[in-house]
Amino acid sequence: MKASNIGLWITGAVFAWIGWIMLDMSRPVTIPSKSATSLEEVQNSKLPVLVEFYADWCGPCRKVGPVVEALSEELTGRAKVIRVNVDEQRILAAQHGIRSIPTFIVFKNGSEVKRQTGAIPKTAMLRMLEL
């Protein structure tokens, strides 16, 4: 590769990147039926609801995921715990203003009452739920 061709390589890479972005943005976003259920669970629940917004590729999300799953079983009857994959449910994540993951939001009577971002310990999750 000649030094004089470096500009062509950079230009080609930029055009490939722009093309990839345009192609990715043109794909329709589908919302699985699960996301509508999650919203209904939050809105109609008499119990406090802890929602974790996460992604499978996120290291901190993978670390805290098993804790959230165990907490879901442990709090049966006292609170609901829902995990929302931001890659599968982009619109739901956008509706709740998710900018980084993991993000934990507590809802009571359908309204957001607390929010925390980052991999938090189980005790912090319980404090958020006030349990």
Indicate whether 72 belongs to any domain: yes
Q: Does residue 121 fall inside a structural domain?
A: yes
Domain that holds residue 51: 33-129
**What CA–CA distance (Å, rounded) separates 49 from 5?**
58
Closest CA to 91 of 23, 20, 33: 33
Q: Considering the chain, what is the average pLDDT of its residues? A: 83
Does residue 22 form part of some domain?
no
pLDDT of residue 60: 94
Q: Which of 61, 79, 105, 120 is catalytic?
A: 61
* Reported confidence tier of residue 43, pLDDT bands at 50, 70, 90: confident
Number of domains composing the chain: 1
Residue 18 lies in a domain: no
pTM of the model: 0.70
Tell me whether residue 64 is in a domain: yes
61 is catalytic: yes
pLDDT for 37 beyond 60: no
The CA distance from 53 to 105, in Å, is 8
Catalytic: which of 51, 58, 84, 120? 58
Helices (runs of H) and strands (runs of E) counted in the chain? 5, 4
* CA 22 vs CA 17, 36, 42: distances in Å: 9, 28, 35
pLDDT score of 31 more than 50: no
| Torsions phi, psi for 83 (to 5 deg) | -110, 130
127 phi/psi in degrees, rounded to 5: -65, -40
65 is catalytic: no
